[in-house]
Amino acid sequence: MAERRRDALQFPESEREFLEPHLPPKHRADDNTSRVFTTLTFATSLDSSLALSPGTQTLLSGPQSKAMTHYLRSRHQAILVGVGTAIADNPSLNCRIEGVGGYGGDGLEGQPRPIVLDPNLRWDFSSDSKVLALAADGRGRAPYVICAKHPSDLKRVLLEQRGGKFITLNISDTGPSKGKLDWTDILQALRDHGVQSVMVEGGGAVINNLLQPHYATLIDSVIVTIAPTWLGQGGVVVSPPRRCSADGTPVPAARLRDVRWHPFGEDVVLCGKLQ
């Protein structure tokens, strides 16, 4: 067993039971299922904001719900964000629960693969970017960057040296992701690269795109942390495109079923499935 780290997070066994029905099954090496178990998870304010303004990182989760998110990270093989989040947050995208690889555990056991959707190669990462520095330090995996352009050799070599890679897909020319990367293609590419479960963390553009009815069958689980604060107008808001019935009357864009709520400190965590 590797050395215990003081910054490792604790998430009690007693809290794990509540999450279990909403998590991917524990993976087996011989599992040949063709689907990627997909969890949509994020932290929001009472006014549905992820951040105070585009391009800034905002702490919403308290210590207990933050530990819950890190436990979720330990239970998925990958964690996906859009390039807006990669640029704004310089995120770690690793798991810091005590006992996973790099945090008291061996190797990279329990560390998810970071996935960044960056069709236009806007993320100017370097060896100092947190996610790459953690990979070099054995406390996380290097990212897979899903793009639609040819990356420079410099960036490609840097990623590959740390164990990451670029995955190139076509931009969608039809449907609800026209002009963007399409979720069916993204999830198929992850499956082709050995990923059996992914948690989609954000940010706003990614979540609002994924929450469209066209993709409802791709999402297995939704886990949302709600923090007791209003961030105010001008934030990065979760609000998927409006839907209307055949006669033009607005109807809800999406709704959850089989919902369960659980308090974590001052936050509440909501788990459910898309109808």
Ligand X SMILES: Nc1nc(O)c(N)c(N[C@@H]2O[C@H](COP(=O)(O)O)[C@@H](O)[C@H]2O)n1
Ligand Y SMILES: NC(=O)C1=CN([C@@H]2O[C@H](COP(=O)(O)OP(=O)(O)OC[C@H]3O[C@@H](n4cnc5c(N)ncnc54)[C@H](OP(=O)(O)O)[C@@H]3O)[C@@H](O)[C@H]2O)C=CC1
Place of tokens 């479960």: 197
As a whole number of angstroms, the distance between CA 110 and CA 85 comes to 23
The dihedral through the CA atoms of 229, 233, 237, 241 has a sign that is positive
Residues in the chain: 275
As a whole number of angstroms, the distance between CA 115 and CA 134 comes to 15
List the single partner that 181 binds among ligand X, ligand Y, none, CB under 5 to 8 Å by kind. ligand Y
101/112 with CB nearer ligand Y: 112
Amino acid symbol at 191: R
As a whole number of angstroms, the distance between CA 51 and CA 147 comes to 25
Q: Give min distance, CB of 53 to ligand Y, in A.
A: 7
Among 59, 244, 246, 251, binds ligand X (CB under 6 A): 59
Distance (Å) of CA 233 to CA 16, 45, 46, 195: 35, 11, 12, 37
List the single partner that 93 binds among ligand Y, ligand X, none, CB under 5 to 8 Å by kind. ligand X
102 near ligand X, judged by CB under 6 A: no
List the single partner that 92 binds among ligand X, ligand Y, none, CB under 5 to 8 Å by kind. ligand X
84/119 with CB nearer ligand X: 84
Q: Give min distance, CB of 263 to ligand X, in A.
A: 16
List the single partner that 110 binds among ligand X, ligand Y, none, CB under 5 to 8 Å by kind. none
Chain positions contacting ligand X, by CB under 6 A: 43, 57-61, 69, 81, 85, 89, 91-93, 201-202, 225
